[in-house]
Amino acid sequence: MSILVSFAPFIVFAVLVHFGLTVAGLWTAAAVSAAMIVRDSLLKRKSPKILEVGTVVLFGGLAIFTTVTAHEWTIPLVRLVVDCGLFVIVAISIAIGQPFTIQYAKETVPRALWSNPEFLRVNYKISGVWALAFAVCAIADLIMGFVTAVPHWVGVAVTVAALVSAFKYTESHSKGRSEPA
């Protein structure tokens, strides 16, 4: 469940952007991200996670840029930038050998299994599925923003399908993270 909670800033952002409140969505998502890190650090004594820190940087950077430049975002374009940012965060976590899901898995898996090759393999796969889902979301954003011949609902359906698939994959394969190979 912890990994799902980490997506709260993106949900807040999506809702506010849907109502045309792009700047408020960016600032609110940055604030929610920062609050989650503070909550976890102070109350739960957990270290900040790659996804959470990346989210603060992503939304905070976009909020500052938008406020300073008074840039007018279209909904598909700002969603594209955010989805590409998510993809980059996840891809970097994989590239540096710390798939973002591993920090969540370590909260529920016994320490003795952390060095198990199967534990690492499963986390690379789950993180890879999320990277793919965010890439699909970015492609859907491109289609919604720039291919007027395709109905808007198609992009929305593709986005929802990508995210639901990633959630279901995570859910079904997370159970295997605690099992030795």
Could you report the per-residue pLDDT of 13-63, keeping only the tens digit for each? 989 988 989 999 999 999 999 999 999 888 888 888 888 899 999 999 999
State the residue range of the domain holding 98. Answer: 74-181
Could you report the per-residue pLDDT of 16-27, keeping only the tens digit for each? 988 989 999 999
Sequence-distant (≥ 6) Cβ neighbours of residue 42 within 8 angstroms = none
Domain finish residue from 15, 37, 71 = 71
105 plus 147 within the same structural domain: yes
Q: Is the per-residue pLDDT at 73 higher than 80?
A: yes
Confidence of residue 178 (pLDDT cuts 50, 70, 90): very low
Domain finish residue from 44, 71, 98 = 71
Contact indicator for 1, 174 with CB cutoff of 8 Å: no
114 plus 180 within the same structural domain: yes
* Residue 177, pLDDT score: 46
Nearest to 161 by CA among 141, 142, 136, 178: 136
Confidence of residue 3 (pLDDT cuts 50, 70, 90): low
* Residue 46, pLDDT score: 82
98 plus 153 within the same structural domain: yes
Structural domain count of the chain: 2
Q: CA–CA separation, 96 vs 80, rounded Å?
A: 24
User: For the ranges 79-93, 118-132, 137-151, 162-176, which has the lowest average pLDDT?
Assistant: 162-176
pTM here is 0.85
Highest mean pLDDT among 46-60, 117-131, 167-181: 117-131
Confidence of residue 2 (pLDDT cuts 50, 70, 90): low
Could you report the per-residue pLDDT of 101-110, keeping only the tens digit for each? 998 898 888 9
Domain finish residue from 28, 54, 71 = 71
Distance, C-alpha 100 to centroid of its chain = 10
